[in-house]
């Protein structure tokens, strides 16, 4: 049975993942309207992944005797400015997610819920990989430095960049 404090922390994380999925969907849709097809595909995929992160939490909370609360999501922005801005925002958002994941792990530790702490390890690893991925993308953007043909190729090449798939023993 899940400890109440741990259950609340997991449900808070569920909100973060739901909002992340929605936020990345908004970026994907915006990019599509700007003809940034690679960026758009990349963020549609990110959005799907965040939904999967949310679902992992839904299943885990319910399987452990808690109740997953399906939240209302925040309305994301409609306009994202430039590709550079998009990826800087992407990094900021993932840093926030990492901080929230660490908070949940902290609660698990305080409550001595080592099973949930083990479950959350998947998210810790995922965040390390995602932050590294976004930083490498931002490095590329910095090299291009707003140059038009470089941005065209950058957008095209994004179609081939896949997020890392983390596999840890706690499959749902
Ligand atoms: Fe990388 O955001 Fe979900 O966990």
Ligand 1 and 94: CB distance under 6 A: yes
Residue 79 lies in a domain: yes
- Global pTM value: 0.92
Domain hosting residue 64, numbered range = 4-158
Alpha carbon of 49 to ligand 1 centroid (Å) = 8
Residue 122 lies in a domain: yes
The sign of the dihedral angle between the CA atoms of 8, 115, 168, 125 is positive
Residue 172 lies in a domain: no
Q: Which residue from 20, 48, 103 has its CB within 8 A of the most atoms of ligand 1, so it is best to mutate?
A: 20
Ligand 1 and 117: CB distance under 6 A: no
Per-residue pLDDT tens digits for 27-65: 999 999 999 999 999 999 999 999 999 999 999 999 999
Any idea which of 14-18, 101-105, 168-172 has the lowest mean pLDDT? Answer: 168-172
Residue 163 lies in a domain: no
Residue 33 lies in a domain: yes
Alpha carbon of 97 to ligand 1 centroid (Å) = 6
Residue 10 lies in a domain: yes
How many domains is the chain built from? 1
Residue 76 lies in a domain: yes
DSSP output for 77-136: PS----HHHHHHHHHHHHHHHHHHHHHHHHHHHHTT-HHHHHHHHHHHHHHHHHHHHHHH
Q: Tell me 169's DSSP state.
A: S
We report the CATH number of the domain holding residue 108 as: 1.20.1260.10
């Amino acid at each position: 049975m899940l400890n109440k404090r741990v259950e609340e922390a997991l449900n808070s994380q569920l909100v973060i993942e739901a909002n992340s999925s929605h936020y990345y969907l908004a970026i994907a849709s915006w990019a599509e309207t700007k003809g940034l097809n690679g960026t758009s595909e990349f963020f549609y995929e990110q959005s799907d992944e965040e939904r999967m992160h949310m679902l992992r939490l839904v299943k885990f909370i319910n399987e452990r005797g808690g109740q997953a609360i399906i939240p209302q999501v925040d309305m994301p922005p409609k306009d994202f400015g430039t590709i550079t801005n998009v990826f800087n925002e992407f990094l900021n958002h993932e840093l926030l997610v990492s901080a929230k994941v660490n908070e949940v792990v902290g609660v698990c530790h305080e409550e001595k819920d080592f099973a949930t702490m083990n479950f959350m390890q998947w998210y810790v690893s995922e965040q390390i990989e995602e932050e590294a991925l976004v930083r490498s993308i931002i490095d590329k953007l910095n090299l291009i430095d707003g140059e038009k043909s470089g941005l065209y190729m950058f957008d095209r090449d994004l179609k081939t960049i896949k997020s890392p798939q983390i596999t840890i023993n706690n499959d749902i």
